[in-house]
């Protein structure tokens, strides 16, 4: 039996029901491991989401019948992989099929932040639009500017392609330099200081986890040019919120476009007061196309494991 923790798109739910006996939990909000544990009799596969934390304590309590946990995400930080491996439980995730959706959202945030789109819409809806004038609500263009991508994986490269189309130059920082056929002329930096000092826009597309924890801290923000724009569609844990909020308040960072946060969904309240922060609720992969494809990929993984 397949246990699905949260509601899935109709096409995914239909396919799951065709391939498995399904126990659908429809959880909402904060994950309660006790509710999961009460519902695992006869279950051999779990389809979970990044909101469902499978730590070592929970994994130790899973019944021996559980063979596979598939997560409706690329990110796997919410699962203790070592604890799962120790119990012989396989983990599947959903890479690649959300690259375009997530890159599109990074681009959306970059343009919204640069053009002060959120602020403008709030002003208009509040009835405070004084009418058009040459100096009203000026933002900044992106054409001819330098986009710095931190994490030039599949999503970062997809974003680079879109930004080239807007006339931006691409610089990047990555664990390793890419081969020319993937780099496509992007400028690789070997250290953070040269990277951050060279760019006008920073997009964080790196995965979460210990290696990137609080990477964008006060020290690295200080290396950015004054007036740089910061976009994060990777993981909230890559940013030190207090440092970014201070830089947005001082204007050293002109604007930010954020889709991911520490402690989701309870983001740092300091962001909510900032007109120059565009804030979206972790919807990077939230397109009909991507979410169907992610669900299908997760089901493929479950099928592969259960068939041995
Ligand atoms: C992922 O796939 O890791 C996204 O952040 C959630 O859709």
The edge-to-edge listing of strands for the beta sheet with 169-173 is: 187-188, 169-173, 146-150, 201-204, 228-232, 253-258, 277-279
Segment 221-248, tens digit of pLDDT: 999 999 999 999 999 999 999 999 999 9
118: which residues sit within 8 A by CB, 6+ positions away?
Answer: 112, 275, 277, 278, 279
Q: What is the DSSP letter of 99?
A: H
**C-alpha 131 – ligand 1 centre gap (Å):** 40
Phi, psi of 94 (to 5 degrees): -130, 65
**Do 221 and 298 reside in the same domain of the chain?**
no
217: which residues sit within 8 A by CB, 6+ positions away?
Answer: 240, 243
**Do 88 and 127 reside in the same domain of the chain?**
no
Please check the confidence at residue 259 and state whether its pLDDT lies above 90.
yes
**C-alpha 294 – ligand 1 centre gap (Å):** 10
**Considering only CA atoms, which residue is closest to atom 2 of ligand 1?**
73
Q: What is the DSSP letter of 29?
A: S
Residue 135: is it exposed, middle or buried by C-beta count within 10 angstroms (0-12/13-18/19+)?
exposed
Contact by Cβ (8 Å): 44, 67? yes
Q: Which residues form the pocket of ligand 1, taking CB atoms under 6 Å from any ligand atom?
A: 50, 73-75, 98, 284-285
Catalytic (active site) residue 78:
no
Structure tokens at 264: 């989701």
Q: Which domain does 104 fall in, by range?
A: 99-279
Segment 156-179, tens digit of pLDDT: 999 999 999 999 999 999 999 999
Per-residue confidence band for 4, with pLDDT thresholds at 50, 70 and 90: very high
Residue from 6, 98, 208, 301 to probe ligand 1 pocket by mutation (most atoms less than 8 Å from CB):
98
**Do 82 and 144 reside in the same domain of the chain?**
no
Segment 59-106, tens digit of pLDDT: 999 999 999 999 999 999 999 999 999 999 999 999 999 999 999 999
- Say how far residue 265 (Cα) sits from the centre of its chain: 13
Total tally of structural domains belonging to the chain: 2
Q: What is the DSSP letter of 237?
A: G
What gap in Å lies between CA 199 and CA 202, rounded to an integer? 7
**Do 149 and 249 reside in the same domain of the chain?**
yes
Segment 128-155, tens digit of pLDDT: 999 999 999 999 999 999 999 999 999 9
214: which residues sit within 8 A by CB, 6+ positions away?
Answer: 237, 238, 239, 240
- What's the chain's average pLDDT? 98
**Do 126 and 150 reside in the same domain of the chain?**
yes
**Do 119 and 250 reside in the same domain of the chain?**
yes
**Do 148 and 70 reside in the same domain of the chain?**
no
**Do 236 and 258 reside in the same domain of the chain?**
yes
**C-alpha 193 – ligand 1 centre gap (Å):** 29
Phi, psi of 278 (to 5 degrees): -95, 125
**Do 226 and 295 reside in the same domain of the chain?**
no
**Do 80 and 133 reside in the same domain of the chain?**
no
DSSP 157-214: HHHHHHHHHTT-EEEEE-SSPPPHHHHTTPEE-SSHHHHHHH-SEEEE----SGGGTT
**Do 42 and 164 reside in the same domain of the chain?**
no
CATH of the domain at 19: 3.40.50.720
**Do 117 and 266 reside in the same domain of the chain?**
yes
Please check the confidence at residue 308 and state whether its pLDDT lies above 90.
no
Q: Are strands 22-24 and 2-4 parallel, antiparallel or unpaired?
A: parallel
């Amino acid at each position: 039996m397949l246990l699905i923790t949260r509601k899935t798109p109709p096409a995914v739910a239909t396919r799951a029901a065709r391939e498995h006996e399904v126990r659908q939990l429809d959880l909402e909000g904060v994950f309660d491991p006790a509710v999961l544990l009460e519902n695992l009799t006869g279950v051999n596969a779990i389809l979970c989401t990044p909101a469902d934390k499978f730590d070592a304590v929970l994994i130790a309590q899973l019944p021996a019948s559980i063979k596979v946990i598939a997560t409706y995400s690329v990110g796997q930080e919410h699962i203790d992989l070592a604890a799962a491996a120790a119990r012989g439980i396989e983990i599947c995730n959903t890479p690649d099929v959300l690259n375009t959706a997530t890159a599109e959202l990074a681009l959306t945030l970059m343009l919204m932040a640069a053009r002060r789109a959120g602020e403008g819409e709030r002003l208009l809806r509040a009835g405070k639009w004084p009418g058009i004038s040459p100096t009203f609500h000026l933002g900044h263009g992106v054409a001819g500017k330098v986009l710095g991508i931190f994490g030039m994986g599949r999503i970062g490269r997809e974003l680079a392609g879109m930004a080239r189309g807007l006339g931006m130059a691409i610089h990047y920082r990555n664990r390793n330099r890419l081969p020319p056929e993937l780099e496509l002329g992007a400028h690789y930096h070997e250290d953070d200081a040269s990277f951050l000092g060279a760019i006008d826009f920073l997009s964080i597309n790196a995965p979460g986890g210990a290696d990137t924890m609080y990477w964008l801290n006060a020290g690295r923000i200080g290396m950015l040019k004054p007036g740089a724009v910061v976009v994060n569609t990777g993981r909230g844990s890559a940013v030190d919120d207090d440092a970014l909020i201070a830089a947005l308040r001082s204007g050293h960072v002109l604007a930010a476009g954020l889709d991911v946060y520490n402690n989701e969904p309870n983001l740092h309240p300091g962001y909510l007061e900032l007109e120059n922060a565009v804030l979206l609720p972790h919807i990077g992969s939230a397109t009909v196309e991507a979410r169907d494809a992610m669900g299908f990929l997760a089901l493929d993984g479950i099928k592969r494991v259960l068939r041995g």
